[in-house]
Amino acid sequence: MKILHTSDWHVGRMIRGRSRAEEHRAVLSEIAEIAGEEEVHLVLVAGDVFDAVAPSAESEQIVFRALLDLAEVAPVVVVAGNHDHPRRLEAVAPLLELGRIRVGSALKRSEEGGVIALAAESGERARIALIPFVSQRAIVRADDLMALDPDQHGGKYAGRLAAVIARLTENLSLDEVNLVVAHLMVAGGTLGGGERSAHTIFDYAVSAQAFDGSLSYVALGHLHRPQRVPAAGPVWYSGSPLQMDFGETQDRKAVLLVEVEPGLPARVREVPLTAGRKLVRLRGSLEQVATLREEVGDAYLRIELEETARAGLADEVREVFPNAVDVAVAAPEESSRIAPPVRLGRPPHDLFTEYLTQKNALDASVVALFDELLAESHEA
């Protein structure tokens, strides 16, 4: 059985107020093309298809179109992530199922839909445990917060999730491909940089040993960097298809192609994704970074200037780099010996000038404006 594993689409994510809808359309179309070219038998989508629990109509159109495009190639199984609204997905699940798309929107017992069986055109049968995101609040209740020490909260969360995983995977069969698709934090995983920090606290990470070593493959979502998690069996994050934030500028983006047979561990191959704009960080003086204008192309930029801050500096940068979405002045190195300021008896002009100098933001036009406002206040 050949499987395509993807996750963390985060459709609706913006970059400093700029829409990334066209990038999402392009990269999800690329993923569907890969699925068709590789003639996969099953597609696993491990959560966070949306970036917000109340997505826009445009975001829903992009996601559902992408799922249907994938379903034209092979059956699709998707679980809800922490950015998805489980009840919204549950509401459309009956319609999606008509298009060969199965949704795991909430944690369920095996006999109630927590485990599903699918037969691929290859003749192989797959048994798939569905583990959508479970918040800490769902396990660490208010009485626990009052009764347990803080370092015990994570242990209870991890222990309960491990028990859930064990229950959903207890009936493994050597005649079937045994799969798990889950959206959660597994200990040993490396953050990509654009994840929601509140849900990647390592105190709440589930041990990789919670997954039985005889599982054929574990498809994870939540972390944005493609990676294998150290475990007895093949436990993988596919990562996000786009660089989501400037913490991910060094991340490669890919989908995972998984080939697996009953009773044998999976063989996993990364297929790079090329659609979408890169995120690039530049640092130096304005003159220095300007020399890189041709190299960065249409990438979104975070530019850290080693310059004195001045009024209109960001506008100067954007005249050179229209795609600069973040412009900041690099903080000067702190002196190891700073004399305490003497303020008593000194005129406001001097104090304001000293303040701007300390902040590496001395600008004659700003000082002149300050003096003008100070004079008007005295007259008033």
pLDDT for the residue 226: 95
pLDDT for the residue 345: 65
Handedness of CA 247, 250, 255, 258 (dihedral sign): negative
What is the distance between the alpha carbons of residues 335 and 348, in angstroms, rounded to a whole number? 24
DSSP string for residues in 101-114:
EEEE-S---GGGTT
pLDDT for the residue 379: 77
Helix (H, G, I), strand (E, B) or coil at 117: strand
CA–CA distances in Å: residue 302 to residues 251, 323, 331 = 16, 9, 15
CB 343 within 8 A of CB 352: no
CB 305 within 8 A of CB 329: yes
pLDDT for the residue 144: 54
What is the distance between the alpha carbons of residues 58 and 21, in angstroms, rounded to a whole number? 8
pLDDT for the residue 308: 82
What is the distance between the alpha carbons of residues 230 and 58, in angstroms, rounded to a whole number? 38
What is the distance between the alpha carbons of residues 176 and 75, in angstroms, rounded to a whole number? 17
Structure tokens at 337: 């010996």
Neighbours of 288 (CB within 10 A): 13
Which CATH number fits the domain 2-272, given the four candidates 3.50.50.60, 3.60.21.10, 3.30.1360.120, 3.40.50.720?
Answer: 3.60.21.10
CB 224 within 8 A of CB 175: no
CB 164 within 8 A of CB 139: no
| Strand 267-272 versus strand 254-259 pairing type | antiparallel
CB 273 within 8 A of CB 226: no
Structure tokens at 349: 């002009």
pLDDT for the residue 335: 46
Question: Which uninterrupted H or E stretch holds 43?
Answer: strand 42-45
Residue numbers of the chain with a pLDDT score lower than 70: 140-155, 192-203, 331-345, 360
- pTM recorded for the entire structure: 0.83
CB 23 within 8 A of CB 277: yes
Question: Which uninterrupted H or E stretch holds 350?
Answer: helix 348-358
pLDDT for the residue 372: 81
pLDDT for the residue 158: 85
What is the distance between the alpha carbons of residues 214 and 69, in angstroms, rounded to a whole number? 32
pLDDT for the residue 202: 57
Tokens 């017992």, residue? 109
**DSSP H helical ranges for the chain:** 21-38, 57-71, 86-98, 136-139, 142-147, 150-168, 286-290, 293-296, 313-320, 348-358, 364-379
With DSSP H G I counted as helix, E B as strand and the rest as coil, what are the percentages for the chain, rounded to 5? 35, 20, 40
CA–CA distances in Å: residue 160 to residues 102, 114, 136, 140, 194 = 25, 16, 11, 10, 27
CB 243 within 8 A of CB 279: yes
Q: What is the pLDDT of residues 284-316, one digit of tens each?
A: 999 999 999 999 999 999 999 988 888 888 899
